[in-house]
Structure 1
Amino acid sequence: MSRPARALVAGLAALAAAVVPGPATAEPTPGGGMNAAATTFFDDFEGPAGAPVDSAKWRHEIGNGNEGWGNLERQYYTDGTDNAALDGDGNLVITAREENPAGYQCWYGSCWYTSAKFSTAQTFTQAYGHFEARMKLPEGRGIWPAFWMLGADFGDVGWPDSGEIDIMENVGHEPGTVHGTLHGPGYSGPDGIGAAYTLPGGERFSDGFHTFAVDWSPQRIQWSVDGNVYQVRTPADLGGDEWVFDHPFYLILNLAVGGRWPGDPDGSTSFPQQLVIDYVRVTDGATSGGGQPIVGLADKCVDVAGASTDNGTPVQLYECNGTAAQRWTFAADGSVRALGKCLDVAGAGTADGTPVQLYECNGTAAQQWVHTAAGDIVNPHADKCLDVTGADSADGTRLQIWTCAGTANQKWRV
């Protein structure tokens, strides 16, 4: 969530809490963590119904803050299980309720709603990696769920200099759309750098669980929903402003009500509202999420040569190593994506032997693929299969399209 006064109060609340041992911190790994990633933080919210969240992982942030956390928000965050508890089925449920218990005072007077907010500011911070949560979102005007991160140096440098990475924000009157945003010096608040992702076919994020993630490596952050990459940001996107995403951050989960962005609830908004979180997972490399390896001949992987994002970079067969250059997503538009770009038939060719490359996603027929039940990956435009040249299993063998023959060098599993 993204406004300076709210972020300031959030950080001060964390700093004002009882002193505890310092947070587990994962520092940047050499080379951006290009080895197979290990899990550094995980909570699957297993436990009996009604139990509170694990305080060894999460700490409550309580109150309403200065001007409603800087956003004119209408909720008071409590630490009670009426607003956040395990459901006994492996989920954490954050519940926003329409109520005004005595003593819950907000910036404008008595609060209208209660809800809950958690962070790992005192228990876990990390620079770089894969950060994801699987959640089912609420919906309704004035409802504002979020999964986000703040720089762990907030107490020293303040916001926005600490940086903020919004992995997922949703305003409830847009039930099929989520937003991912960066905030930093010169690009904060309404000037944040971001993009939106909308589910196809009028689907809503309240209809079922979806996975929201960022893959964060030096000089690069990539957002995905259900493995579909929809945004990549680098320092080049900041117009000369400072890139401050080079140090540990901490996680935040919350369900706000009202505020400048979503507006206040109205007569169409029902209560209680619930944000249901299945799990939160962090790994130590940005290579473990945002896609899956495509494995073929000799149990080797489809790989982007040199992990380069340049248009025209060869796509090859290579020993599986868990890097981002081998993490592919079969997107809803028929494309196959890695490193924020698409698997592409060079020159939109249809002849046997036309090489396959990485290229800026453009929606053309050269970037349309179908993974069949038989294990073929077919480009329908050419009516040909993704093929390992010469059936050569050596590292670095170029991939191409070829008439589908059912041979081992054309069989792929995800």
Structure 2
Amino acid sequence: MWMRNAQRMGVALLCLTGALLPQVSAADTAAEAAGPPGTGWTQVFADEFTAAAVDTAKWNHRTDVKANSAQRPQNVTQSGGLLTINLKQESYGGKSFTGGGVISKKKLRYGYYETRAKINDGAGWHTSFWLMAGDGSTTYPAEQRTEIDGFETDSINPTRTMHNVHGWEGSGVHGPLTYGSGTYDTGLDLRQWHTYGIDWSESGAKFYVDGTLKYTAPYTPGQWMHDYTNVWLTSIATGSLPDASKLPSSAQFDYVRYWQRDYYVDNDGPAAYGFTTSGTWQPSALDGWTKDSPVVYSCTAGAKATWRPTLRAAGSYEVFLRKTATPDGDPAAAVRLDNNGSVTTSTLNERTGSSGWTSLGTQTFASGTTAAVSLTASGTGCVHADAVKFVRR
């Protein structure tokens, strides 16, 4: 790892007798020593950028025209274990400057995201590591709901950055929710390598620089804030016009990694991988816990819905079932938590209280697919199936 980092920094290792080894800075060491806080994390997505070109099975290119630049796939290159976004003065797409970026094809949700990056030298560029649904053809897609900015740095102020959470209602319509750190001085030269982390959970987002917590967004997300997002690594010209005397230049990313600790299974969408039903079920007009994700229901006694997560790590998890409260709900639906054959049962009354997560208790679970939650209709009223979650404790 040290040798790889030395090569990336352009340091020549001398093998002559008596030659001095190069020094590794404290900031560089701290950056490498980052990673998710706490225990129970499993890495499930990464790109170390060691291939000779961008892996288009993993990434889309940013191709929009925005602010002072057009974004070009040709500006994004890989070599020496680095993803480089080349920043140029050239006429393209009606603009005089071009930038670029990549957007993950894989959609992810709660977990810890991390990259190691350095921005360009010279004013006029906005480099960022962020999460939002989309493919890079526009920053205002119809599916735009959650935006989480791991860092946003304007190169005119190379020691300053900001972290944000934005709620969108799709196609560029901003929702009521916005939290941000404001632009602050990190005390670091961000033109050098630094590590940036996002710890995103259902109840908030924490932002790290070189393993140090810098900002916590204290939001209680609305329904539109639970959707899956893509990872964006981008640099575009915005704000003041770029300093042409510093071009061509580049922003670079060393890697991107994602770890998971909590597990959600929904009745539809990307998280429906472990959801099955038996008996007669129908789509409901009632909203689920995520935007555009209605629940399903059954009024037939014995109809059963089952959620089976794939736990990537053994450990202690608190299990929750999402309750849908409605006047014609099932007052005596049977709930069954199966922990590899050890079963805990309870009853769910959907006619009382309010909709929300209902705890089924905390247990120690093995990794794999040996845990499951099921909900069975009593035949009195209609039972509603939405989602379950296993939250690491």
| TM-score, normalising length: structure 1 | 0.48
Taking the aligned partners of 2:168 and 2:145, their CA distance within structure 1 comes to 8
Q: How does 1:74-223 map onto structure 2 within 5 Å? A: 74-80=68-74, 83-88=75-80, 90-100=81-91, 104-105=92-93, 110-120=94-104, 123-151=105-133, 162-185=145-168, 188=174, 192-195=178-181, 196-200=183-187, 203-206=188-191, 208-223=192-207
Greater Rg over alpha carbons, structure: 2
Which residue in 2 is equivalent to 1:407? none
Paired positions, count: 224
SS at match of 1:248: coil
Report the RMSD for the aligned CA atoms in angstroms. Answer: 3.4
Taking the aligned partners of 2:120 and 2:41, their CA distance within structure 1 comes to 32
Once the two structures are TM-superposed, the CA of residue 283 in structure 1 deviates from its matched residue by 0.7
Q: 1:266 to 1:191 in 2, by over 3 A?
A: farther
> Which residue identity is paired with 1:253?
L
Once the two structures are TM-superposed, the CA of residue 273 in structure 1 deviates from its matched residue by 2.1
Which residue in 2 is equivalent to 1:36? 40
SS at match of 1:279: strand
Which residue in 1 is equivalent to 2:213? 229
Deviations 1:74-96 (A, max 9, x none): 2221122xx111122x1111111
Contact preservation (8 Å) 1:133, 1:213: yes
Q: 1:229 to 1:197 in 2, by over 3 A?
A: farther
Once the two structures are TM-superposed, the CA of residue 56 in structure 1 deviates from its matched residue by 1.3
> Which residue identity is paired with 1:285?
R
> Which residue identity is paired with 1:38?
T
Contact preservation (8 Å) 1:142, 1:171: yes
Taking the aligned partners of 1:85 and 1:152, their CA distance within structure 2 comes to 21
> Which residue identity is paired with 2:43?
T
Q: 1:91 to 1:266 in 2, by over 3 A?
A: closer
Once the two structures are TM-superposed, the CA of residue 161 in structure 1 deviates from its matched residue by 5.8
Which residue in 1 is equivalent to 2:334? none
Segment drifting more, 34-43 vs 247-256: 34-43
> Which residue identity is paired with 1:227?
G
Taking the aligned partners of 2:87 and 2:56, their CA distance within structure 1 comes to 20
Taking the aligned partners of 1:252 and 1:78, their CA distance within structure 2 comes to 15
Q: How does 1:14-25 map onto structure 2 within 5 Å? A: none
Which residue in 1 is equivalent to 2:380? none
Contact preservation (8 Å) 1:216, 1:286: no
> Which residue identity is paired with 1:166?
D
Q: How does 1:287-306 map onto structure 2 within 5 Å? A: none
Contact preservation (8 Å) 1:150, 1:165: yes
Q: 1:190 to 1:150 in 2, by over 3 A?
A: same
Taking the aligned partners of 2:107 and 2:121, their CA distance within structure 1 comes to 30
Q: Which structure shows the bigger proportion of residues in helix conformation?
A: 1
Deviations 1:40-90 (A, max 9, x none): 11111113xxx32111111113241xxx2xxxx12221122xx111122x1
> Which residue identity is paired with 1:165?
I
SS at match of 1:126: coil
Once the two structures are TM-superposed, the CA of residue 221 in structure 1 deviates from its matched residue by 0.8
Q: 1:188 to 1:139 in 2, by over 3 A?
A: farther
Structure 1 position 264 matched with structure 2 position 264:
no
> Which residue identity is paired with 1:204?
D
Q: How does 1:274-289 map onto structure 2 within 5 Å? A: 274-285=250-261
Taking the aligned partners of 2:119 and 2:196, their CA distance within structure 1 comes to 11
Taking the aligned partners of 1:62 and 1:158, their CA distance within structure 2 comes to 13
Contact preservation (8 Å) 1:160, 1:183: no
Once the two structures are TM-superposed, the CA of residue 218 in structure 1 deviates from its matched residue by 1.5
Deviations 1:114-148 (A, max 9, x none): 2212111xx21111000010011113221111111
| TM-score, normalising length: structure 2 | 0.51
Contact preservation (8 Å) 1:153, 1:162: no
Q: Determine what percentage of the aligned residue pairs are the same residue.
A: 25
Taking the aligned partners of 1:243 and 1:153, their CA distance within structure 2 comes to 22
Which residue in 2 is equivalent to 1:45? 49
Deviations 1:228-266 (A, max 9, x none): 111112335x8xxx36332211111111012xxx22224
Once the two structures are TM-superposed, the CA of residue 210 in structure 1 deviates from its matched residue by 0.5
